[in-house]
Amino acid sequence: MTLSQPLLPAGFRLIFHELVGSTNGEAKTLARNGAAAGTVIWALQQTEGRGRRGHIWSSPPGNLYTSFILRPGCTPEQAAQLGFVASLAIGDALAELAPDIGAPACKWPNDVLVGGRKIAGILVESEFGRDERVAFVIVGLGINLASAPSDTEFPATSIAGEGLPPPTPEAALGAVAKHFEIWLRRWREKGFGPARDVWRSRAVALGEQIRVRLETAILHGRFVDIDQHGALLLETGGELRCIPAGDVFPAR
């Protein structure tokens, strides 16, 4: 298959596969073996694509599947912020690639929506070093360019599904990498504050009633804010709960 080379910012190094189990799995293997920060794994298809909490990520050809290896030398709490950073980069890339698609919105913690439907998801995984900081962080993402699954719990869409010509995966990778590098630089230089502010301006259901599904319970309440680490602050049962991980749905 003939592909054009994605245009990546300085400091990124591309490893391409036509078919791979999962780009995150490949990235973790490479990171454990010393792959440098900025290594980018890109595949045209995945046979074992994964989303958050073990969900299967449908991976037919025509969409973007990629993972970035980062070595930010940060704490686990700071590593979790990179999902928000990546969601902003995806939103900016979508606005560049498909300017008529409408304003991309951020769904806590790591999804990007268009028209209330999921168009992209992010999976952040990290491993510890010898101290209390992470040895590496893998930021994996999938963007529905040409197609979207129809059997998902949360409705999905794609650029093509919105009636627009889909960009090629290599063009999408170039745009995402460009904006990810910009947001990563801001995060390194200024911390989470600027990214948090922009994420909140794009947030879905902020200030509204939502359902949050945890491992063993479902909570109902008002989405008050995210804290300085990105945890969801939920007003429920007369108290303010801090939720580091969960799945958010509209209130019923």
- Per-residue model confidence as pLDDT tens digits over 163-221: 999 999 999 999 999 999 999 999 999 999 999 999 999 999 999 999 999 988 999 99
**What six digits make up the tokens of 200?**
């909140």
Specify the pLDDT at position 60.
87
Fold classification of 209-250 is: SH3 type barrels. (2.30.30)
CA distance 241 to 229: 14
Token pair recorded at residue 137: 């962080």
pLDDT, mean of residues 12-18:
96
Residues of the chain with CATH 2.30.30.100: 209-250
Distance of CA 138 to the CA centre of its chain: 11
Domain boundaries for CATH 3.30.930.10 within the chain: 13-202
Roughly how many angstroms between the first and final C-alpha of the chain, as a whole number? 47
* CA geometry: angle 208, 211, 212, nearest 5 deg: 115
Q: Which residue has the tokens 């999408």?
A: 172
Q: What is the mean pLDDT of residues 59-84?
A: 94
Q: Answer whether CATH 3.30.930.10 is correct for domain 13-202.
A: yes
pLDDT grade for 25, boundaries at 50, 70 and 90: very high
CA 58, 61, 63, 64 torsion-angle sign:
positive
The answer to whether the beta carbons of residues 124 and 164 sit under 8 Å apart is no
Average pLDDT over residues 158-167: 97
Give the predicted TM-score (pTM) of the model.
0.93
Instruction: Indicate the average pLDDT of the chain.
Output: 93
pLDDT of residue 55: 55
Distance CA 37, CA 186 (A): 17
Question: What is the rounded average pLDDT of the residues 20-25?
Answer: 94
